Amino acid sequence: MKKTVRDIDVSGRRVLVRCDFNVPMEGGRITDDRRIRESLPTIRYLLERGARVILSSHFGRPKGRPDPAFTLAPVAERIGTLLERSVPLLPDCVGPAVEDAVARMAAGDVVLLENLRFHPEEEANAPGFAARLAALADLFVNDAFGTAHRAHASTVGVAAHLPAVAGLLLEKELAHLGQALDSPVRPFVAILGGKKVSDKIGVIRRLLDRADTLLVGGGMAYTFLRAQGREIGASICEQDSLGLAAALLAEAARRGVGFELPADVVAATAVEAGADHQVVDAAAIPPGWAGVDIGPRTAARFAGIVRGAGTVLWNGPMGVFEIPAFAGGTRAVAEAMADSSAVTVVGGGDTAAAVEAFGLAGRMTHISTGGGASLEFLEGRELPGIAVLQDA
């Protein structure tokens, strides 16, 4: 357990808050503000207690130099709208102009620093840059679960100079993901998708230790099907992971863990909108065709297992859901989870984007704001941005 903002006195103090405002944008307009909305409880908590709140975040990949395409100005405007107050964007994240602006802050004020990644020292975790960031504040609050797996200056370096605690969003992430893994309501069903088995080896091994059933879809399913000797046509397949896939299937059988693979799939002549596609048996994908989604029989089977679960943890879509014709399996799983009385936890990244796109986010117990971070947490790795926080 880590200390949180509830464990410290913030009144009148300068609090540097690391948020994850790396939100999707098109033409300078935010298309999904969920990460901003999820940060509001921590911000409001601090403001209501008279803290001077200094928000910080990265956005995109500006390659270590100022780039107007990656300004946080739209984020500052959106936070201001949600808080119903002005949230000034400072011209940089370090330097005399920033120091002067922070020095003029009164209790209950809030500002946003400009994109941390305008400086190459941020991702390099340069001690001098971390010290300059830390000098702006009296306390450090990490509320950016999405970057907690990165040892950057703003997630790890500043904690060498300031008392460091978790924000309310980070606390919520650890509680929901931790409970799903360590004390789930049973039956515990884990759903895994995405492209590659190799990306999820650690997660699969850990879940074989904890879950009652694994449901596997997405591109990674075809490597498992090929390992069973099935014909998968031109479907994505990691040839160098076939032995590993066979070993994982054998381990699941030995442990008595259900390991469900697709019985039917949607196969297409190309992974693009408008391509010819048909539902085929998962063992008989035609030559030259590629699996792009689980089929209706599999979707119904997976949905039935979800409906009987006590806890469902989902990481990775069932197919190429961005193309409507190939979104049926991912939608079916999302709808089954939304209708379920189980504790439903959605890993971040593409899975969260799918649930948002289907309009079902509000019916899940928890949707993680971290893609890579949630994956590494599920693997059991220590996340550096969490390790540096004070223990409760």
Q: Is 349 annotated in the active site? A: yes
Is residue 196 in some structural domain? Answer: yes
- Whether residues 279 and 357 share a domain: the answer is yes
- Could you list the pLDDT tens digit for every one of the 392 residues in the chain? 999 999 999 999 999 999 999 999 998 899 999 999 999 999 999 999 999 999 999 999 999 999 999 999 999 999 999 999 999 999 999 999 999 999 999 999 999 999 999 999 999 999 999 999 999 999 999 999 999 999 999 999 999 999 999 999 999 999 999 999 999 999 999 999 988 888 888 899 999 999 999 999 999 999 999 999 999 999 999 999 999 999 999 999 999 999 999 999 999 999 999 999 999 999 899 999 999 999 999 999 999 999 999 999 999 999 999 999 999 999 999 999 999 999 999 987 889 999 999 999 999 999 999 888 998 999 989 999 999 999 99
**Could you say which of 135, 170, 205 is where a domain stops?**
170
Structural domain harbouring 301: 184-379
**Length of the chain counted residue by residue:** 392
Is residue 190 in some structural domain? Answer: yes
Secondary structure of the chain in the HEC alphabet?
Answer: CECEHHHCCCCCCEEEEECCCCCCEECCEECCCHHHHHHHHHHHHHHHCCCEEEEECCCCCCCCCCCHHHCCHHHHHHHHHHHCCCCCECCCCCCHHHHHHHHCCCCCCEEECCCHHHCHHHHHCCHHHHHHHHCCCCEEEECCHHHCCCCCCCCCHHHHCCCEEECHHHHHHHHHHHHHHHCCCCCEEEEECCCCCHHHHHHHHHHHCCCCEEEECCCHHHHHHHHCCCECCCCCCCHHHHHHHHHHHHHHHHHCCEEECCCEEEEECCCCCCCCEEEEECCECCCCCEEEEECHHHHHHHHHHHHCCCEEEEECCCCCCCCHHHCHHHHHHHHHHHHCCCEEEECCCHHHHHHHHCCCHHHCCEECCCCHHHHHHHHCCCCHHHHCCCEC
- Whether residues 201 and 341 share a domain: the answer is yes
- Whether residues 24 and 132 share a domain: the answer is yes
Is residue 177 in some structural domain? Answer: no
**Could you say which of 137, 170, 203 is where a domain stops?**
170
Q: Is 372 annotated in the active site? A: yes
- Whether residues 164 and 227 share a domain: the answer is no
Long-range contacts of 378-384 (CB under 8 A, 24+ apart): 378/177, 378/181, 378/202, 378/203, 378/206, 378/207, 378/313, 378/315, 378/347, 379/202, 379/203, 379/206, 380/202, 380/206, 381/149, 381/202, 383/148, 383/149, 384/148, 384/149, 384/150, 384/151, 384/155, 384/156
- Whether residues 155 and 198 share a domain: the answer is no
Is residue 155 in some structural domain? Answer: yes
Is residue 391 in some structural domain? Answer: no
Q: What per-residue confidence (pLDDT) applies to 371?
A: 83
Q: Which residue has the tokens 């309501």?
A: 185
Q: What per-residue confidence (pLDDT) applies to 66?
A: 97
- Whether residues 165 and 189 share a domain: the answer is no
Catalytic residue among 13, 14, 18, 35: 35
Q: What per-residue confidence (pLDDT) applies to 372?
A: 86
Q: What per-residue confidence (pLDDT) applies to 196?
A: 85
Catalytic residue among 64, 202, 310, 372: 372
Catalytic residue among 349, 370, 371, 385: 349
Q: Is 3 annotated in the active site? A: no
- Whether residues 141 and 232 share a domain: the answer is no
Q: What per-residue confidence (pLDDT) applies to 199?
A: 85
The CATH number given to whatever domain includes residue 250 is: 3.40.50.1260
Is residue 392 in some structural domain? Answer: no
- Whether residues 210 and 353 share a domain: the answer is yes
Is residue 55 in some structural domain? Answer: yes
- Whether residues 198 and 320 share a domain: the answer is yes
- Whether residues 86 and 147 share a domain: the answer is yes
- Whether residues 151 and 205 share a domain: the answer is no
Q: Report the relative pairing of strands 14-18 and 139-142 from DSSP bridges.
A: parallel
- The count of domains in the chain is 2
CB 385 within 8 A of CB 148: yes
- Whether residues 9 and 140 share a domain: the answer is yes
Is residue 89 in some structural domain? Answer: yes
Beta-carbon neighbour count of residue 335 at 10 Å? 16
Task: Annotate 255-294 with b (16+ C-beta within 10 A) or e (fewer).
Answer: eebebbbbebbbbbeebeeebebeebebeebeeebbbbbb
**Could you say which of 170, 203, 230 is where a domain stops?**
170
CB 167 within 8 A of CB 56: no
Catalytic residue among 3, 34, 196, 307: 196
